[in-house]
């Protein structure tokens, strides 16, 4: 999404009438038109752009409201990146689903990756690990929205338990590093920069932190499989 020498897809701005039957294209027709040149490809790209834009508000409703001022710019960036990704990977489409479904899944993955990137960019490392009387508490964004209230309760309880172990077992630096990298997904380079550490030193810090947590979890009869099972919504 950021400028890195990527090509830009240009679609005729005067083509403002989207094909009424664009969703009726067969998988083979989508592939054939997108692999062609000229008007057929431009028409398919314009229709595919509309498909992506139409699907994003619903797909991202649990993460970012369409009314949010950031939504339009995100949707535009995601749509552009999705079209480029699709064109680059047409040969990987296996036809197990509708072509538009495949494209929309790609768009959602790209959008969630971008939202995650924006989320950690806006946090300081100190804010990633908030202290309270019960120990470490994680930002509410850590918990994935789920349709089943019981799942949300289990996720919250598990985060509290993991937070307690992190608080009791790790040093302040270890807590910052493990929460930022393993839970928030902040890139190692960014964590190292913010903590003013060399990459190798951060590796060592994370290794020691994981070992201490692993041993403490074993003492309490808790495994990583137990944790991930709570967040596996199928």
| Model pLDDT for residues 139-178, shown as the tens digit of each residue | 544 445 444 566 667 767 777 777 788 888 889 899 888 8
- CATH of residue 190: 1.10.10.10
96 assigned to some structural domain? yes
Place of tokens 């595919």: 48
Q: Looking at the structure, do residues 135 and 162 belong to the same domain, yes or no?
A: yes
Same domain assignment for residues 154 and 84: no
Residues 123-157 as b or e (16 or more Cβ within 10 Å = b):
eebeebbeeeeebbbbeeebeeeeeeeebeeebee
Task: Write the pLDDT tens digit of every residue in 77-128.
Answer: 999 999 999 999 999 998 888 999 999 999 998 888 788 776 655 555 555 5
pTM for this entry = 0.48
Which residue range forms the structural domain that includes residue 178? 125-231
Dump pLDDT digits (tens) for 40-83: 999 999 999 999 999 999 888 888 888 888 888 889 999 999 99
Q: Is 36 in the same domain as 130?
A: no
Structural domain ending residue among the three candidates 76, 94, 121: 121
160 and 105, same domain (yes or no): no
Which residues pair with residue 131 across a beta bridge? 136
**Is there a single domain that holds both residue 60 and residue 131?**
no
With the CA atoms of 96, 101, 105 and 107 taken in that order, what torsion angle do they form, in degrees rounded to the nearest 10? 140
In a domain, 11, yes or no: no
The domain tally of the chain equals 2
DSSP secondary structure code for residue 134 in this structure: T
Pick from 75, 143, 141, 73: which is nearest to 108 by CA?
A: 75
The answer to whether residues 104 and 48 touch, using CB atoms and an 8 Å cutoff, is no
- Total Cβ atoms within 10 A of residue 110: 21
In this structure, the answer to whether residues 215 and 150 fall within a common structural domain is yes
Q: What are the φ and ψ backbone dihedral angles of 199, each rounded to 5 degrees?
A: -60, -45
Distance of CA 183 to the CA centre of its chain: 13
**Residues of 174-191 as b/e, b for ≥16 C-beta within 10 angstroms?**
bbbbbbbbebbebeeeeb
CA nearest to 57, candidates 37, 79, 41, 85: 79
Assigned domain for 7 exists: no
**Co-location of 139 and 214 in the same domain:** yes
Name the one residue in this structure whose structure tokens are 């489409």. Answer: 93
pLDDT of residue 33: 94
């Amino acid at each position: 999404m950021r400028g890195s020498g990527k090509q830009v897809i240009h679609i005729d701005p005067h083509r403002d009438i989207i094909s009424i039957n664009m969703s009726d294209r067969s998988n083979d027709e989508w592939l054939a038109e997108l692999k062609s040149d000229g008007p057929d490809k431009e028409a398919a790209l314009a229709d595919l752009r509309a498909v992506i834009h139409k699907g994003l508000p619903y797909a991202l409703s649990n993460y970012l409201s369409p009314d949010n001022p950031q939504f339009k710019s995100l949707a535009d960036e995601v749509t552009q990146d999705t079209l480029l990704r699709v064109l680059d990977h047409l040969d990987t489409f296996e036809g197990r689903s509708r072509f538009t479904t495949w494209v929309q899944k790609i768009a959602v993955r790209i959008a969630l990756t971008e939202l995650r990137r924006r989320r950690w960019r806006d946090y300081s490392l100190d804010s990633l690990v908030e202290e309270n009387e019960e120990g470490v508490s994680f930002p509410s964004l850590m918990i994935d929205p789920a349709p089943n209230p019981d799942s949300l309760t289990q996720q919250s309880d598990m985060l509290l338990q993991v937070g307690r172990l992190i608080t009791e077992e790790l040093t302040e630096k270890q807590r910052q590093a493990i929460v930022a990298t393993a839970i928030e997904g902040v890139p190692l380079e960014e964590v190292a920069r913010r903590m003013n550490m060399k990459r190798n030193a951060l590796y060592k810090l994370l290794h020691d932190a994981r070992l201490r947590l692993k041993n403490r979890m074993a003492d309490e009869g808790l495994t990583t499989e137990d944790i991930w099972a709570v967040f596996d919504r199928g």
